[in-house]
């Protein structure tokens, strides 16, 4: 199984939209894709066609076997498990991650985990072949937080693949262009691609869908296909 953990370096970086669009891009390449929502906001269903009034998810059940009835599938064939609205559950996100290996097709499947911004990477049961994407925006706050996170990762001796992924990049902004150029030239662990700001992403969410479906010729579609291809190459390198 190929596990991708996606987390915002702070709240509001657009992590969930990245997860949903990436999942659909991988699925269109005929990959088996699961999305597991680990964020109490439980927003992943808003991007994958789940009814707005559906409140249940894995946090409403005492164990993974019971929670498995809340797996849903979108029109592209992406299978996803919402977080739900439970607060006093015996299950934890660590249990959910570990139990995903019990799924019958998990050996060759992709698992994308939508992670909350407030939980640090060390809290997850990460294996050396796992990929952890930390979503950032081109602003001064993320700039400071990235250097702080790099120092933390160095001290923790992390063994997994950790990358910073720029989302909502506005090429018309001189500040954002300068920051991106600085990061690309000086920062380690920086993903060699970025997701441009595109109205198609916001418009698609209004239809409970993803940009690569609603606007297949958009910049967003190209960006997420590129991201999917890069992750496939990283995962293949790990397996060889």
Torsions phi, psi for 8 (to 5 deg):
-80, 140
Give the closest residue to 226 by CA, choosing from 202, 200, 192, 198.
Answer: 192
Q: Is the pTM of this model over 0.75?
A: yes
Q: Average pLDDT of 219-231?
A: 97
User: Confidence band (pLDDT; 50, 70, 90) for 90?
Assistant: low
- Report pLDDT digits (tens) over 128-179: 999 999 999 999 999 999 999 999 888 887 789 999 999 999 999 999 999 9
**Any idea what the CATH number is for the domain that residue 155 is in?**
3.40.50.300
* Total domains in the fold of the chain: 1
Q: What is the pLDDT of residue 89?
A: 53
Euclidean distance between CA atoms 235 and 34, whole angstroms: 16
Euclidean distance between CA atoms 172 and 19, whole angstroms: 25
Instruction: Domain of residue 180: give its range.
Output: 2-239
Where is average pLDDT lowest: 56-70, 87-101, 136-150, 202-216? 87-101
Over 60: is that where the pLDDT of 220 sits? yes
Q: What is the pLDDT of residue 157?
A: 79
Cβ-contact 15, 142 below 8 angstroms: no
Q: Average pLDDT of 178-184?
A: 96
């Amino acid at each position: 199984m190929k596990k991708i953990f996606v987390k915002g370096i702070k709240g509001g970086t657009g992590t969930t939209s990245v997860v949903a669009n990436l999942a659909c891009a991988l699925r269109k390449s005929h990959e088996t894709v699961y999305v597991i929502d680990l964020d109490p906001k439980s927003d992943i269903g808003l991007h994958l066609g789940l009814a707005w009034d559906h409140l249940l998810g894995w946090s409403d059940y005492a164990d993974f076997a019971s929670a498995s009835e809340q797996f849903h599938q979108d029109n592209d064939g992406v299978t996803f498990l919402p977080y739900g609205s439970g607060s006093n559950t015996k299950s934890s996100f660590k249990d959910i991650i570990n139990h995903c290996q019990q799924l019958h097709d998990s050996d060759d499947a992709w698992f994308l985990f939508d992670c909350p911004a407030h939980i640090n990477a060390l809290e997850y049961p990460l294996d050396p072949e796992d990929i952890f994407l930390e979503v950032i925006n081109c602003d001064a706050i993320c700039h400071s937080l990235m250097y702080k996170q790099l120092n933390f990762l160095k001290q923790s001796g992390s063994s997994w693949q950790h990358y910073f992924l720029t989302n909502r990049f506005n090429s018309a902004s001189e500040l954002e262009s300068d920051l991106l150029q600085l990061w690309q030239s000086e920062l380690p662990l920086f993903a060699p691609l970025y997701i441009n700001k595109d109205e198609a992403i916001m418009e698609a969410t209004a239809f409970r869908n993803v940009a690569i479906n609603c606007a297949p010729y958009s910049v967003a579609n190209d960006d997420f296909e590129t991201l999917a291809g890069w992750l496939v190459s990283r995962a293949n390198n790990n397996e060889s």
